[in-house]
Amino acid sequence: MEIKSLSLRARAVVEGFMSGLHRSPRTGFSTEFTEYRQYSQGDDVRFLDWKVMARTDREFIKKFEDETNLRCTFMVDFSRSMEFGGDEAGVKKSDYGRTIAASLAWFLIQQRDAVGLATFDRDVREFIPPRYRQDQLKTILGRLETQPAGQATDLCQALDKLASLVGKRGMIVLVSDFLTPIDELERSLNLFTAAGHDVRAIQVLHPRELDFAFEDAAIFEDMESGQNLILDPGLAREAYLEKIKAHNDALDGVFSAQGITSFRVSTTEPMELVLLKFLQEQPARAVARQRRSPGRSAA
């Protein structure tokens, strides 16, 4: 599977169904000048029009149309465990996850949104701040096409680092298999949700990680530690399925507690359906507020 071909495939899908979303311009300081307004105490003096002030002896601020409606940072897992797959049962998790991020980045930039990227394994390896500009998509796709070379995952450490890098409130999209201890995950995620970010999590798993449908006894290798284990899948399947279910249930609990919209996808799931579901989904935090807050008419 080539990332480029799937990006083009996703583009054709989202372009038809989602064009015109959130095109409600706001006012802010940007590059497209719209009008003047009188200076008020506290305004940024950098935007004073000195020529107008010289002619009229009055202070005016330039108003601009905000270029973007959203600031989105994709945080994509580049650890070694994401390299699992690439067989008849399903594509590599890394290819699938990077394609999701690339396709959504293309869509958002087409909608004039600011998009950024962070890649991580034990730590954040590369960070591209969210921007809306001509070459931003090319920069992001170039980074996503880089083959993951990380080792073990430390999602919490990476989240802590990213929290110090992300500035203005926006959307944070986590793309990972989340096969990592989650004891500290809720604390790390809270750094973003408490700051008002719309956090969305896409858990990418290979079908064999979900059903453990291996046939013959074999040597299984931990892709991150390199540890080998001789195993009969028939004898181990029931215990494995219990453990993966317990892990995913605990993960869902963390997401729910933080009001995070989450998606669990298999690498065999059609990409178009995943993208459409993501783009149509309301933020879980907004849904939670709606459920907790009775309408005024009911009072």
pLDDT confidence of residue 288: 42
Output the furthest CA–CA distance in the chain (Å, rounded). 86
Beta bridge partners of 297: none
User: pLDDT at position 130, please?
Assistant: 93
CA distance 187 to 153: 17
Helix (H) or strand (E) holding 138: helix 136-144
Tell which wins on pLDDT, 74 or 36: 74
Residue type, position 298, single letter? A
The values of phi and psi at residue 179, to 5°, are: -90, 70
Q: Mean pLDDT throughout 26-43?
A: 46
265 neighbors 203 (Cβ within 8 angstroms): yes
Whose CA is closest to 174, among 249, 273, 254? 254
Yes or no: say if 206 and 178 are a contact pair by the CB < 8 Å rule: no
Q: What is the pLDDT of residue 87?
A: 73
In tens, the pLDDT along 96-119 reads 999 899 888 888 887 788 999 999
pLDDT digits (tens, 9 = 90+) for 64-74: 444 447 899 99
pLDDT at res. 121: 87
Q: Which amino acid is at 30?
A: S
Query: How far, in Å, CA of 168 to CA of 160, rounded?
Result: 16
Tell me how long the chain is. Answer: 299
Q: How far is CA 255 from the centre of its chain?
A: 14
Please state, in angstroms and rounded to a whole number, the distance separating the CA atoms of residues 180 and 186: 13
pLDDT at residue 292, as a whole number: 43
Q: In this prediction, what percent of the chain has a pLDDT beyond 70?
A: 61
* Whole-prediction pTM: 0.73
Q: Which domains are delineated in the chain? A: 27-65 (no CATH), 68-292 (3.40.50.410)
SS3 per residue for 153-209: CCHHHHHHHHHHHCCCCCEEEEEECCCCCCCCHHHHHHHHHCCCCEEEEEEEECHHH
Range scoring the smallest mean pLDDT among 27-36, 173-182, 217-226, 234-243: 27-36
Band (pLDDT 50/70/90 cuts) for residue 277 is confident
Of all residues in the chain, the percent with pLDDT exceeding 90 is 28
pLDDT at 225: 55
Token pair recorded at residue 45: 């003096």
Lowest-pLDDT choice from 23-32, 94-103, 119-128: 23-32
Q: Give the mean pLDDT of the chain.
A: 75
Which range (22-31, 33-42, 177-186, 247-256) has the least confidence?
22-31
